[in-house]
Amino acid sequence: MRFGFTLPNNLGIEDPHQVIEVAVQCERLGFDSVWVAHHVFNIGYVRERLGDRPYDDALTILTWAASRTERVELGTSVLVLPYLHPATLAKQLATLDRLSGGRLVVGVGVGSLPEENAALGVTYDRRGPLTDEFLAVMVELWTAADPQFDGEFYRFSGLKASPRPVQRPHPPVVVGGNRPPALRRAGRWQGWHPMLLPPDSMASRLPTIDAELAAQGRDRSDGYRVHACLDLALWPEPRDRPPRAPMHGTADQLLTMIDRYRAVGVTDLVLSGMASDPAAIPDMLERFAVEVMAKAR
């Protein structure tokens, strides 16, 4: 089992350097990866949570974290692709992969805020097909000597694209979401990155991914990544959580839950501290590393 932590770029922290220090701490404590969340506007449930407090840009924070670390993987949890452009993003991600020495993991999703789509001029009910095309465009730009594309949303030819990522053919792509279209999409890439699903719910959805993998002559034994993404401050029994608890549940409870995830095929546990006081995150990480992670490897 590998362990990651989502940096608090989305928790309204006024000084972004404090967000970066969490990445430094994660590497020091032995975490395998650090991740960033992505939205463009404080709108919908993001506005309800933050008001006008900072939600720092995902790739800027991840690039700065890359410069302060040497070992941890650097992931996006997740980039909402319909809010972006594939040519610009392909260049940004390839550059980050090069700067970090090939440590990038590209988590992607279609988004779940219709009002944010509307503000950005993106049709909400076409975000799935757009995302599929977006991913195909990025791979074309990352891998083809003379990239060209002729799709519903994107068309180009007669150009050169650079740079290429360090990782070949490209950084691993892991797909967020838990509904059938997202599961089928996840089976076409290198991993699944759903949010806040208990082990039984993950187990019930994995056959859809397995069927998609089998259709391509693949299976999960070839390095396919299955991520469980959970809020450590709410885990495992949020209704009984004391206010601002640094880490809910005893170490034994957490270890039992990790065993349940491992049994259904989870390869990576990506934690966050969304429900905690941001100031409590360093202590929460220290506790988890010593009391749980060291025993769960």
pLDDT tens digit sequence for 212-254: 999 999 999 999 999 999 998 765 444 444 444 455 578 888 9
| Section 196-203 average pLDDT | 95
CA dihedral 245, 276, 27, 40 (to 10 degrees): 170
Q: Report the pLDDT value the prediction gives residue 238, as an integer from 0 to 100.
A: 40
Q: How far apart, in whole angstroms, are the C-alpha atoms of residue 123 and residue 118? A: 7
| 225, 242 Cβ separation under 8 angstroms | no
Q: Report the pLDDT value the prediction gives residue 235, as an integer from 0 to 100.
A: 58
Q: Give the pTM.
A: 0.94
Intra-chain end-to-end CA distance of the chain, in Å: 6
User: Which of 164-173, 263-272, 278-287 bottoms out in mean pLDDT, i.e. has the lowest?
Assistant: 278-287
For a pLDDT cut of 90, what percent of the chain falls above it?
A: 90
Residue 90 has pLDDT above 60, yes or no: yes
| Three-class secondary structure of residue 44 per DSSP | coil
Domain 2-296 superfamily per CATH: Luciferase-like domain (3.20.20.30)
Residue spans per domain, the chain: 2-296
| Section 96-119 average pLDDT | 97
Q: Report the pLDDT value the prediction gives residue 250, as an integer from 0 to 100.
A: 82
265: left (phi over 0), alpha (psi -120 to 50) or beta: left
Q: Tell me the CA distances in angstroms from 131 to 4, 9, 66, 104, 151, one per residue in order.
A: 25, 24, 26, 19, 12
| 292, 254 Cβ separation under 8 angstroms | yes
Q: Report the pLDDT value the prediction gives residue 248, as an integer from 0 to 100.
A: 59
| 186, 207 Cβ separation under 8 angstroms | no
CA-angle at 43, arms to 41 and 59, nearest 5°: 30
